[in-house]
Amino acid sequence: MNAPKIRSDISQRLQQLSLASLLKGLRRTVKNLVLPLTGIVIFLFIWQIAASSIVTSLGQFPGPSDVWQQSKTLVAEHRQERQKADAFYTRQEVRNAKKLAKNPQADVKVRPYTGKATYFDQIFTSLYTVMFGFLVATFIAIPLGILCGLSENAYRAINPIIQTFKPVSPLAWLPLVTMVVSALYVSDDPMFEKAFLTSGFTVALCCLWPTVVNTIVGVASINRDLIDVSRVLRLSSPVYIKTIVIPSATPLIFTGLRLSLATGWMVLIAAEMLAQNPGLGKFIWDEFQNGSSSSLGRIMVAVITIGIIGFILDQLMLALQKRMSWDKQAVLR
Amino acid sequence: MNKNYLELSQVGIEFPTDGEPFRALQNINLSIQKGEFISLIGHSGCGKSTVLNIIAGLYRASEGGVILEGREVNEPGPDRAVVFQNHALLPWLTVYENVELAVKSVFKKTKSKAEMRDWIAHNLSLVHMDHALHKRPGEISGGMKQRVGIARCLAMQPKVLLMDEPFGALDALTRAHLQDSLMEIQNRLGNTVVMITHDVDEAVLLSDRIVMMTNGPAASIGEILEIDLARPRDRLALAEDPAFNACRQQVLRFLYEKHRNPAAQAAEVPASETPPTEPQVAPASVPKAKPTSSAAA
Ligand SMILES: Nc1ncnc2c1ncn2[C@@H]1O[C@H](COP(=O)(O)OP(=O)(O)OP(=O)(O)O)[C@@H](O)[C@H]1O
Ligand SMILES: [Mg+2]
């Protein structure tokens, strides 16, 4: 074989190679992009048809296009509200500047803008309410689960309580939590809204259980050999918990946390409706009470928002789990 | 005094069951010298692991007791290091950290940080694992894991090294390699070792004495065979040594004539191809609550 022949051989091989990888890439795109998109399109189509055949007392059930319209309106309202706020603050600034120019000792105040909460403010309220409840639950659930997993006596003592409270609906808790918060949280200058605390604690009560139960199972199913290793090494309890118990329970703890966060997010909407915490739940409730022709569309926007945020929260937890997991080969989904 | 460095006297154990308690061991008497290498051999399920766990202090004997250097053994401790059959490394720690955990818990007060670091590295190099210090157990082979398990135990400078079928799960080549390493280390350090094995060749090659156990229930020691082969031993030379073969014969005769495993009578398996161990019974101490039904709640 002479040199040019070899060269053309190689270039041919390269072409084949890149063609093959191109095909492979194409197939992956179809799998990861085209299939989900097809699903969504079919869904939208069915939705449109179904919506057009349902007429409610508030008018036509919203189809995809109405919902799209409403979401644009909500964004526009948000922009407007922000502009108003900006204008309000600039006016104040100008006024204060004038005052100071006249009299440097003048007592100037900046009053906060008290316009109505926009859709995005409400999303934000919901997010930090659910985070508050979720964190409270996590700080109780993981230690409790470790305790019950390690000590059979503790497990026997606490398990009946767990099993009893686990199936309780948030709506059942809410009146009690409301009354307790009103009774115990009395201050002249409250740091938190009562509605916020009520919703947060209701969320916490409901999303406690998945983490507790999964932590118990995770801790109780530590490999026997590892327990024997810790006995031979005479590890102290803190070292044992830190180096053996928590790492081996981590996968199940995270399973629990993900379930908890998902539960918490679901519960939150109901809690906000009843507690009137200014989040997405209240938004839906207010729209429902409003009963205008655009209400159903706006509620549908909220429904989709709730779904997407729930999905994002779960993906964030998954990413966190992947980062914290020692077994990088494990398939997490 | 040296004769009874480690002494088992009248050891017996009963396991509680739903019905009558199950008597696994009875009248086990054994004296082990300092620096001696003992193999325990016997059919599956006869109670070898139970003996080892009693020496380790992981199980309490129902009768009799274990005395190590004049002190009774009644709880597990780092002076009796155990090499587990399935390596029992912490999968979330690297090779180095696994050994470090043991070294820290033994030498916390007596060694400085730098000394500990050197000591960990030294022990890992004894088992030729210095090239993979920062790998996790999931990233190394089975033989390598077993070597790290051995290094972890050596690093504890135990009075007695207890090994439960340390090479049972390995292929023949790796096993031979690790046997050679173990012989070399033991020659150098003079550890006292009690090792369980299913492999007659392995037992003869490594041991000073082979303890042959009768079949359970109520198993005890059937025969004890002294292996008077000069050290260091070389597997190739020994393969043709009549003394070596005589020892092998004796163990085989014990296992397959005098104390045939009733369960395995049909299968005439040559000893060198002993089938892998049957799954071990999980130890009963501290049964754990497992609310599995609600796992996915
Ligand atoms: N915790 C336990 N509870 C009840 N019975 C047990 C327990 N541990 C062991 N046994 C029984 O004691 C006997 C001896 O078990 P052991 O594990 O010591 O056998 P072995 O000789 O190590 O077997 P193998 O070679 O298969 O590992 C077996 O019959 C087993 O069923
Ligand atoms: Mg065994």
The CATH number covering residue B34 comes to 3.40.50.300
Which domain does B285 fall in, by range? 6-74+162-170+190-296
Give the per-residue pLDDT at B262: 60
Q: Is the pLDDT of residue B291 over 50?
A: no
Task: Assess contact for A70 and A294: CB atoms under 8 A.
Answer: yes
Q: List chain A pLDDT tens, one digit each, 333 residues.
A: 456 667 777 777 777 777 888 888 888 888 888 888 999 999 999 999 998 888 888 888 888 988 999 999 999 999 998 999 988 888 888 888 888 888 888 777 778 888 788 899 999 999 999 999 999 999 999 999 999 999 999 999 999 999 999 888 888 889 999 999 888 888 777 778 888 999 999 999 999 999 999 999 999 999 999 999 999 999 999 999 999 999 999 999 999 999 999 999 999 999 999 888 889 999 999 999 988 888 899 999 999 999 999 999 999 999 999 888 877 666 766
Give the per-residue pLDDT at B284: 41
CA A130, A132, A133, A137 torsion-angle sign: positive
* Shared domain check, B99 and B59: no
pTM: 0.80
Pick the more confident residue, A251 or B2.
A251
The answer to whether residue B116 is domain-embedded is yes
Give the per-residue pLDDT at A58: 80
The answer to whether residue A37 is domain-embedded is no
Write the ipTM.
0.82
Based on the structure, what is the number of domains in chain A? 3
Give B261's pLDDT tier (boundaries 50, 70, 90). low
- Residue A294 CA to its chain's centroid (Å): 27
If you count residue pairs, one on A and one on B, with CB atoms under 8 Å apart, how many are there?
Answer: 99
* Shared domain check, B258 and B148: no
Give the per-residue pLDDT at A328: 67
Chain B residue nearest residue A328, CA to CA = B138
* Shared domain check, A254 and A158: yes
The answer to whether residue B177 is domain-embedded is no
Q: Residue B102 and residue A243: Cβ atoms within 8 Å?
A: no
Chain A residue nearest residue B80, CA to CA = A232
Distance from CA of A274 to the nearest CA of B (A): 26
* Shared domain check, B106 and B152: yes
**Separation of alpha carbons A221 and A241, rounded Å:** 14
Task: Assess contact for B208 and B32: CB atoms under 8 A.
Answer: no
Distance from CA of B235 to the nearest CA of A (A): 32
A164 touches chain B (CB under 8 A): no
Give the per-residue pLDDT at B3: 67
Give the per-residue pLDDT at B279: 40
* Shared domain check, B133 and B226: no
Task: Assess contact for A44 and A64: CB atoms under 8 A.
Answer: yes
* Shared domain check, A207 and A273: yes
Q: Is the pLDDT of residue B287 over 70?
A: no
What is the per-residue burial (b if ≥16 Cβ within 10 Å, else e) of B197-223?
bbbbbbbbbbbbbbbbbbbbebbbbbe
Nearest alpha carbon to residue B86 among B2, B127, B146? B146
Q: Which residues, 6 or more positions from B166, have their beta carbon under 8 angstroms from its beta carbon?
A: B83, B85, B146, B149, B150, B178, B182, B195
* Shared domain check, A269 and A209: yes
Q: Is the pLDDT of residue B271 over 60?
A: no
Give the per-residue pLDDT at A98: 87
Q: Residue A228 and residue B81: Cβ atoms within 8 Å?
A: no
* Shared domain check, B275 and B134: no
* Shared domain check, B201 and B113: no
Helix axes B142-155, B172-189, angle to 10 degrees: 10
Could you give the 3-state DSSP secondary structure of residue B14? strand
* Shared domain check, B69 and B101: no
Give the per-residue pLDDT at B202: 93
Q: Residue B138 and residue A159: Cβ atoms within 8 Å?
A: no
Give the per-residue pLDDT at B32: 94
Chain segment B185-223, per-residue pLDDT in tens: 888 888 899 999 989 999 999 999 999 999 878 899 999
* Shared domain check, A159 and A124: yes
* Shared domain check, A179 and A274: yes
* Shared domain check, B97 and B68: no
* Shared domain check, A190 and A133: yes
Return the bridge partners of B6, or none.
B32, B68
Task: Assess contact for A201 and A130: CB atoms under 8 A.
Answer: no
* Shared domain check, A170 and A79: no
CA B37, B43, B46, B50 torsion-angle sign: positive
Q: Residue B76 and residue A239: Cβ atoms within 8 Å?
A: no
Which domain does A83 fall in, by range? 59-116
Task: Assess contact for B212 and B224: CB atoms under 8 A.
Answer: yes
Shortest-distance Cα residue to atom 29 of ligand 1: B45
Which of B14, B25, B46 has the most ligand 1 atoms within 8 A of CB, as the residue to mutate? B46
* Shared domain check, A262 and A147: yes
Give the per-residue pLDDT at B58: 94
**Separation of alpha carbons A244 and B93, rounded Å:** 10
- Strand B22-32 and strand B6-15: the pairing is antiparallel
CATH (domain of A166)? 1.10.3720.10
Based on the structure, what is the number of domains in chain B? 2
Give the per-residue pLDDT at B282: 40
Q: Is the pLDDT of residue B288 over 50?
A: no
* Shared domain check, B124 and B62: no
From A234, A244, A329, residue closest to B90, measured CB to CB: A244
* Shared domain check, B144 and B10: no
Helix axes A170-184, A246-275, angle to 10 degrees: 80
Atom of ligand 1 minimally distant from the CA of B53: 18
* Shared domain check, B198 and B61: yes
Distance from CA of A251 to the nearest CA of B (A): 12
**Separation of alpha carbons A205 and A166, rounded Å:** 9
Pick the more confident residue, B269 or A151.
A151
* Shared domain check, B254 and B134: no
The answer to whether residue B208 is domain-embedded is yes
The answer to whether residue B182 is domain-embedded is no
* Shared domain check, A68 and A205: no
**DSSP per-residue letters across A40-100:** HHHHHHHHHHHHHT-EETTEEPP-HHHHHHHHHHHHHHHHHHHHHHHHHHHHHHHHHHHHH
The answer to whether residue A303 is domain-embedded is yes
Give the per-residue pLDDT at A231: 94
Neighbouring CB atoms inside 10 A of B292's CB total 10
* Shared domain check, A149 and A260: yes
